[in-house]
Structures are given as C-alpha cells and as structure tokens.
Amino acid sequence: MQRTSEPRVQEAGVPILKARTFECMGTVISLTLAADPLAEGQPMPDELAAATAVVERLFRDLDETFSLYRTDSEASMLARGELALRDASEQMRERYAEAHEWRLRTDGAFTPERPDGVLDLSGLVKGHAIREAGTSLLALGRRDWCLNAGGDVLVSGSPRPGSGQPWKAGIVDPADRLTLLTGYGLAGSTRHSALATSGSAERGEHIWRVGGGTEFVQVSVAAPDIVTADVLATAIVSGGVPTLNLAADAWDVAVLAVRSDGSLLATPGFQQA
C-alpha cells in the first residue's frame, strides 16, 4: 500500500520534497521527488503517484520472478529442480550471468548460489530493481529524486534542483538503530550516486561468508551505480579485509566497515565525509 508524506509549509527558496512508499521484496521502498518552489514543473501529487506506480510495478514483476519466498516464482521452480537454468527466462539467465561475472571479479566473495547449491540471486536482484527503476524515472523526465529500498539508496540530481547540493544519506549504527554513524553526500556535485549497506546487524546472518569469517557486521559502499555498491557491500561482508582492499583498488568506491568489536574501518572517501 502506498503512502504519501504530508507536505510542510515551505519558505521562499526552500526545496519541495514529496515522497511515497510501498512494500515489496520484504522491505519498504520510498521514492522522493524534489522541485524548486520558485520554478515551474514542480512534481504534483498525481505525477508522484504515477512515478511511484512505475517503480512499484517494476519491483513487483521482478519479485514475482526471483523471490524464493514465492512458491510459484521461477526462482522457486529452479530451486525445486522443476526447471533447468538453460530453459529459464532470458532475464533469469541474464541476471545469473551478471552474478557469475561478479563472482569472478570479487574472487568468489560474491556468489549466486547458496551453500546447498540452490541458485539465489537475491544479492543482485534488489540492486538491479533499483537500477531499472532509476532508468525508468529518467525516461519519465524526472531528474531530481531519491529512491531508497531498505537502506540501499540511488539518487539523481539534487534535493535543491540546479544547486549542485548533494542528497545526504545516513548510515545507521548496527549496535543502536536509532543512532547514525555518519552521513554521505550522493549526486549533486559529487561523483557517487548510490549507497548500499549489507551485514548481519539488522537481518541476522544471511550472507555466506568466505571461510566462515565474521570480521564485519556491517559494510556500507558508495559507488557511481547501485549494483556495484550493493554487490560489493555483500562481498566485503563475506570476504573481509582482503575483499575490501580489492574493492578499494579495483573500483571507484568509498567503504565504511563496522567490525564485530564495534570499531570502524574506512577508506578515504568516508574519512572525508
């Protein structure tokens, strides 16, 4: 069910932010549109509703295909052995190929299979859904927006359109969900548009760790695109410091990792945030 935030009284020059939310893929997805109150073309409620409907339909279509919690999904049919991957849909085979490529690029820290051998593309599909939703929003002519799916964030433009001001994304302390560790600027005049966080602090152990390591309880990655951010956050939780070093050397990313003892490990991008 979609919900719309209540508009607040705006002062002159203060940007207008309007948001709607819905639930899918086991989490809450929110879309926020921004507009300059002094400019024409502000997002009206019906425009926001239409944009959210496009995003929601995309998420639900992907969930119907890839969710292992739906017994009628294509992913569940593959898991039960009722369907072979070679006979699966084109989008299933494309996402598997993408996940396999990430396995190679992360030296196995990211994998599309569970330990029992069942194909599970959940580590990629949410990021892919966010990526596709962002493409759709741009195609609709929306340039200033923030899309948040369970803490994984993709933004475009600025909360103050035309200003170059970045959107500010907060990273929650895994030991106290009411406290922020830090904030990180996305888009605007910055080079990163996406931020993803992975770990065991909120959802428990759900990541298959290389060698059974438990070095990091939470990892946040900022990157130019959401799939890179999402995959590398998961891979670093799985692979620990070696994978963090690989990510920092091979990709344009900023990383903030929380160790099991609560101490932090940050690359220069987060140290300057």
**Mean of pLDDT values over 188-213:** 71
Mean pLDDT in residue range 59-67? 97
* Percent of the residues in the chain that have a pLDDT greater than 70, as a whole number: 84
- Decide which of 205 and 93 is more confident: 93
Tokens of 270: 């987060």
pLDDT at 4 over 60: no
pTM: 0.88
Residue 254, domain extent: 3-271
Residue carrying the six token digits 């279509």: 61
Q: How many domains does the chain have?
A: 1
As a whole-number percent, the residues of the chain with pLDDT over 90 amount to 74
Label residue 188 by pLDDT band (50, 70, 90).
confident
Mean pLDDT (whole number) for 99-123: 94
Q: What is the pLDDT of residue 12?
A: 45
What's the average model confidence in pLDDT over 126-153?
A: 96
Which CATH number goes with the domain that contains 50?
3.10.520.10
pLDDT of residue 14: 62
- pLDDT greater than 50 at residue 243: yes
Residue-level pLDDT at 8: 43
Residue 11 confidence (pLDDT) above 50:
no
- The pLDDT of residue 13 is above 60: no
Sheet-wide strand order for 264-266:
3-4, 16-24, 27-35, 145-149, 152-156, 194-199, 216-223, 254-259, 264-266
Out of 16-20, 143-147, 228-232, least confident range: 16-20
Region 45-70: mean pLDDT is: 94
Average pLDDT score, the chain = 88
Tens digit of each residue's pLDDT (9 = 90 or more) over 215-234: 899 999 999 999 999 999 99
Average pLDDT over residues 240-261: 95
